[in-house]
Amino acid sequence: MPTRSRSAACLLALLHVCMSTKALNHRILRTSKAGVTTTTCGLGIDCSPTPYTSRVIGTRTKQYSTDCLWSDQRQKHPPRLPGPCSSSPTKISATERPFTSSTLDLLLPLLKSPKQPELFLLDLHFDNHVPEFHPSHQLPHRTSSKALPLTEGESRKPRQKTTPGFLDHHHNGELVSKAMIGGALRHRVESIDPEFCDAGDEDTFFVADLGHVYRQHLRWKKNLPRVKPFYAVKCNPDPKVLRLLAELGNGFDCASKTEIKQVLDMGVDPSRIIYAQPCKTNSYVRYVAAEGVRQMTFDNADELYKIAKLFPEAELYLRILTDDSSSLCRLSLKFGASLDATDGLLALARELGLNVVGVSFHVGSGASDPLAFLKAVRDANFVFEQAAAHGFDMKTLDVGGGFCSDDTFEAMAGVLRDALDEYFPPHRGVSLIAEPGRYFVSAAFTIACNVIARRTVEDPNGSVNGSLAAAPSYMVYVNDGLYGNFSSIMFDHQHPVAKVLRSSGNFFYNTTDADSPESPSEGIEYSIWGPTCDGIDRISESVRFSQTIDVGDWLYFEDMGAYTKCSATRFNGFSDAHDVIYVCSEPAARAMMLNYI
């Protein structure tokens, strides 16, 4: 079959599937002269359910450009280019806004392209047992022995059966993530010559897996399908994280003009931003009024007078007080109106002619007690009833943040989901939003630090713990600390765990799911200190490694994506800007980001 005919046949077959499943309102395809990448069945902007899953459509060309950022499981460099290693492929893609566009509009220019390379369909299979919220992303397999040509030296392999399901995919995604992060860490560290490198080459750096952010989005959709996330930008304003979350259709919780401008500059519609700051600067209120960002919170009478003067058209959320005693960072000490005050505030808002459209609450950052959500939802329902008595027709409930990314999320989400179903069932017509931050990014970022100095501790007077050890212990100093990316130790009550990345020229990154911490009684004892002159700049009081750590070696810390680089300072003249190496362990997320790399 001629190349264009085979290409057209593949595309028309895909069109038939899409139309038969009523999926044309998804942003299913991104196209370029070099090929097509599909993002369907939960890979679209809202992850709406569809009864089929699809993989990737790409091109088979002779040469590829080098792009380690988007390396994937099947081929190291994804084919994206119309010619041999061109650096600027011409994109033929739908407009970025709105996110819904006709698949046919995307495909027709591709079919008419006289230079269109041969297309190949990696996989398109149907499986009604695949959970509707989530596509399968196993390594791609061919659909039949006749469908696709083989490259030189390639042999046919039987299709392997995979067990569909979120847990299976999540597990494999995590393994791929580990491998990609480890590869990026190793490549960067081994590229540095400590004897001859320029000043700053050994600086701290991050590796971020955007695939983890994507998996967290799917996890959210599974557990809280009625609640739309508005990502808390304050947690980590990384531009590629924001772009991916925008592509996924999420909203944004912003606390300042800078955050709002950053999101607006990406082309996000103002209706997808909530100015979730109960106490706002006057000039910032004027700014959001000019930019059309209407949603904002309040919790006191003075704020109502301010808004009535500067932005009377705003859509207001009354933030109520909650029990956040179980959270890492208690916010109710500073924000939230008590139930004794809510009725009076609603009466004042009515008197000033303001529009109160909803209620918001926040159970505290890093909450650990699921019952805090139950009580907060019940209190919010009470305020909804108060608002109705004052003539307000509230339409939105903002359940705030506090969601952790660890294994507690499912339990937390279950309690919240049941509470929402009881007090705000779907037939009530109330929109539900949330403000997760650390949930999306905490585990997506890994940081690597260079050991810049070491001190041997052999006597009680010099020991950090005041006890004489049988073997020497060491104080090691790294090029980051509490005034830098480890500020979360002070401000967010975090306890980063140090692991050996490279010692004595050997690489030790753990690419498995399971951690293997040293026994408390085994190995060499170290304390880890930051680079500043402040005595409190200590990352870890005591940790044991089986390896000997010396100057020039590297340590790494996982789960460093939340409240780290966003609160770093330049104390002692150290830089607060550090490189981020991006990897992406999910093909769907990679496809969404192709226009932005």
Residues noted as catalytic: 533
At 219, list the tokens: 């996890």
Residue 534 CB burial class (10 angstroms; 0-12, 13-18, ≥19): middle
Cα gap 201→189, rounded to integer Å: 10
Cα gap 486→521, rounded to integer Å: 26
The DSSP H or E segment spanning 380 is helix 371-389
Distance of CA 229 to the CA centre of its chain: 11
CB-side exposure of 583: number of CA atoms within 13 Å? 28
CB contact set of 12 (below 8 Å; sequence gap of 6+) = none
Task: From 47, 76, 349, 393, select the one nearest 222 (Cα to Cα).
Answer: 47
DSSP state of 329: B
Dihedral, CA atoms, 297, 302, 308, 313, nearest 10 degrees? Answer: 0
Q: Report angle CA 11, 15, 19 to the nearest 5 degrees.
A: 175
Please state, in angstroms and as integers, the Cα–Cα distance from residue 196 to each residue in 201, 326, 562, following that order. Answer: 10, 50, 34
User: Sign of torsion, CA 445 451 456 461?
Assistant: negative
Residue 260 CB burial class (10 angstroms; 0-12, 13-18, ≥19): buried
Q: Would you say 181 and 164 are in contact if contact means Cβ atoms under 8 Å apart?
A: no
At 45, list the tokens: 């902007």
Cα gap 76→70, rounded to integer Å: 8
At 8, list the tokens: 């057209």
Cα gap 202→321, rounded to integer Å: 46
SS percent in the chain: helix, strand, coil, step 5: 30, 20, 50
At 268, list the tokens: 């996000």
Q: Is 442 helix (H, G, I), strand (E, B) or coil?
A: helix
Q: Would you say 86 and 65 are in contact if contact means Cβ atoms under 8 Å apart?
A: yes
